[in-house]
């Protein structure tokens, strides 16, 4: 009986883990998608030259903290559809030079820039109130 319970718990745990890992990171980020693009140096330098508000999102698809941040960012853009923030997503696993450039100690790092000036830097922050406050402070398109 004890073995059956142990096996049942293991099966349930594996099913939950599989669901979590197989659920697309962008499953509920439809508003974020409108503001986000993959990081390229060209896009970053052009946005800097235009003095745009740029959120650097150092992200890894396997990172649960990153997924939580994307949920918060999606909620922000849902509430602020006229936001002028450009989100540039740096791939933590494949863009190591840029991870170093932005001094990101790990995935789930967010850095907000206006042009060349860094306005905010955060690691593993998932509190909606904190992220919303920092973005709204600088976002001229926020409602």
CATH code, 43: 3.40.30.10
pTM of this structure? 0.77
Angle between helical axes of 64-79 and 128-138 (0-180°, round to 10)? 50
Domain count, the chain: 1
Instruction: Report the alpha-carbon distance of residue 38 to residue 87 in Å, rounded.
Output: 8
- What token pair was written down for 112? 């907000």
Residue 66 confidence (pLDDT): 95
The rounded distance, in Å, linking the Cα atoms of 123 and 121 is 7
88 φ, ψ to 5°? -110, 120
Identify the burial level of 65 via C-beta atoms within 10 angstroms of its C-beta, where 0-12 means exposed, 13-18 middle and 19 or more buried.
middle
pLDDT in tens, the chain (143 residues): 666 555 445 444 444 444 444 444 444 546 556 678 999 999 999 999 999 999 999 999 999 999 999 999 999 999 999 999 999 999 999 999 999 999 999 999 999 999 889 999 999 999 999 999 999 999 987 77
Confirm whether 19 is domain-assigned. no
Phi, psi of 21 (to 5 degrees): -75, -30
Q: Is 84 left (phi over 0), alpha (psi -120 to 50) or beta?
A: alpha
* Residue 10 is assigned to a structural domain of this protein: no
Residue 9 lies in a domain: no
In a domain, 17, yes or no: no
- Classify residue 16: in a domain, yes or no: no
Would residue 113 count as lying in a domain?
A: yes
- In a domain, residue 7? The reply is no
For residue 130, what are the CA distances in angstroms to 58, 93, 123? 18, 26, 12
Dist. CA 112–CA 1, nearest whole Å: 55
> Do the domain assignments include residue 12?
no
Domain span including residue 32: 25-138
Identify the three-state secondary structure at position 62.
Answer: coil
| Predicted local distance difference test score (pLDDT) of residue 2 | 60
């Amino acid at each position: 009986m004890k073995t059956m319970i142990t096996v049942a718990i293991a099966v349930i745990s594996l099913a939950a883990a599989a669901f979590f890992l197989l659920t697309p990171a962008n499953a509920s980020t439809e508003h974020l998608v409108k503001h986000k693009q993959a990081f390229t140096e060209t896009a970053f330098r052009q946005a800097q030259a235009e003095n745009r508000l740029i959120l650097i999102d150092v992200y890894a698809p396997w990172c649960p903290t990153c997924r939580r941040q994307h949920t918060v960012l999606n909620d922000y853009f849902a509430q602020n559809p006229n936001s002028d923030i450009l989100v540039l997503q740096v791939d933590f696993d494949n863009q190591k030079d840029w991870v170093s450039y932005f001094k990101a100690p790990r995935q789930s790092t967010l850095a907000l820039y206006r042009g060349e000036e860094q306005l905010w830097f955060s690691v593993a922050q998932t509190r909606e109130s904190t992220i919303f406050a920092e973005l709204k402070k600088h976002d001229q398109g926020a409602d």
